[in-house]
Amino acid sequence: MASATVTSKGQITIPVRVREALGLNAGDRIEFVEIDKGKFAIMAATRSIRELKGMFHDKRRKPVSIEEMNAAIARRASESR
């Protein structure tokens, strides 16, 4: 099991084995996710933009043009006044 010591500033050094398993590099962000009372999972919070491609793609919807977006924004803005 990998372990780390908390400094007086609340910082830790993530062991090499854990960094490698998470694919972490200097400057990457991590998230601490509570999975049970007193238990947390450490997850890499950085992803390549390529991994996000198609995540929100819905084949049932047609693409919307910039003009259509601007018209929808203008409609909603005029409704809220």
- Give the SS3 label for residue 44: strand
pLDDT in tens, 1-39: 889 999 999 999 999 999 999 889 898 889 888 888 989
Identify the H or E element spanning 30.
strand 30-36
Asked whether residue 1 is assigned to any structural domain, the reply reads no
pLDDT in tens, 35-52: 889 899 888 887 666 666
CATH of the domain at 71: 2.10.260
Asked whether residue 7 is assigned to any structural domain, the reply reads no
Q: How many residues does the chain have?
A: 81
**56 lies in which domain range?**
16-79
Asked whether residue 2 is assigned to any structural domain, the reply reads no
Asked whether residue 6 is assigned to any structural domain, the reply reads no
CA dist 12 and 22 (Å) reads: 16
Query: The pTM is what?
Result: 0.52
Give me the number of domains the chain comprises.
Answer: 1
Asked whether residue 64 is assigned to any structural domain, the reply reads yes
Asked whether residue 9 is assigned to any structural domain, the reply reads no
Asked whether residue 4 is assigned to any structural domain, the reply reads no
- Give the SS3 label for residue 71: helix
